Amino acid sequence: MKKLFNYLSVVALLMLTACNGATFITPDKDAVSFAIDGDEESVNISADGSWSISECPEWVTTEVQDSVLTIKTAKNETGAVREGDIILSGKEGVNVKIKVTQAAKCTHITPASDKVEFEKEGGTQTVNIDTDGLPQVEAPEGFTATYAAGVLTINTPANEEGVKNGEIKLTCEDQSATIAVSQKGNVCPKCNGTGKIKCPKCHGRGYTSYGGADAAWGCKSCGGRGYEGEGMDLDDCLVRGSGRIRCPQCGGSGR
């Protein structure tokens, strides 16, 4: 009778587990990447029931607490990139994969594009990165950028100021790459965002003429000086202006 009771208890437990098994499992990341030295990464798991780890690479260790899966790796001393999958399983037929990679020595970083442009409204764009390492990312002010599993994700908010320009830098050991980023903004209609307009005094020439071709003055309005007369050396006596002055409408800000 005792053996029968134990058998029935096990069957009931299996039936209860099957009934409570998750019908959906949603991790907030479907891929994680680690540097050569190893580290740990947390993945939040949403599910409507119980789930378990049914497969895991031997070089990865995992911990689960309060629906948070912690993935850990040690230093990669194999000399080759490690790749594997963690499989989360719920109700029969419900399986979800989290891809895990760990870099070896980085030998290249090659972005699919070297330029990314945003509209004034901002948003998110991605650039595929061909690399065998785990690049560190540095983004300019006004932009954020993160790298994971071969994809660089770039974000910027709406821009109510002037045009933004900068470079995103990716580095890994002795390898590096840059991606130019820009975002449209509010621009001054008078100078078209340059902050400069044609000098009205010299009409952009940088000098003013007095007395015909034999006499000219460097335009003081745009930075010129000196006088060129007959028989004088232009380089010694006349310094031409730039032909441009600060935009009076925007004060030189370009917006």
Residue 3 is inside which H or E element, if any?
Answer: helix 2-20
At 249 the pLDDT is 77
Could you tell me which CATH number the domain at 23-102 has? Answer: 2.60.40.10
What confidence score (pLDDT) does residue 233 get?
55
The bridge status of strand 95-102 relative to strand 82-89 is antiparallel
Q: pLDDT at position 77, please?
A: 84
* Inter-residue contact 193 to 238 (CB < 8 Å): no
Average pLDDT by stretches of 10, the chain with 255 residues? 42 49 93 87 94 95 94 89 94 93 86 94 95 88 91 94 90 91 85 87 85 73 79 64 87 78
Distance CA 118, CA 63 (A): 40
pLDDT at residue 28, as a whole number = 94
Task: Provide φ and ψ at 57, rounded to 5°.
Answer: -60, 150
> CB under 8 Å to 235, separation ≥6 — which residues?
none
Spell out the residues 6+ positions from residue 96 whose beta carbon is closer than 8 angstroms to its own. 25, 26, 27, 87, 88, 89
Instruction: Provide the pLDDT for residue 222.
Output: 92
Which pLDDT belongs to residue 216? 78
Evaluate whether 23-102 and 109-183 have a shared fold. Answer: yes
Record the pTM: 0.48
CA 73-79-84 angle, to 5 degrees, is 45
pLDDT of residue 107: 80
- The reported pLDDT for the residue numbered 8 is 41
**Topology (CATH level 3) of domain 109-183:** Immunoglobulin-like (2.60.40)
Predicted local confidence at residue 140, as pLDDT: 94
pLDDT (0 to 100) of residue 4: 41
What ranges do the domains of the chain cover? 23-102, 109-183, 196-246
98, 193, 218 from 73: Cα distances, Å:
14, 50, 69
**Distance set, CA 132 to CA 33, 57, 254 (Å):** 11, 19, 42
Q: Which pLDDT does position 211 carry in this prediction?
A: 59
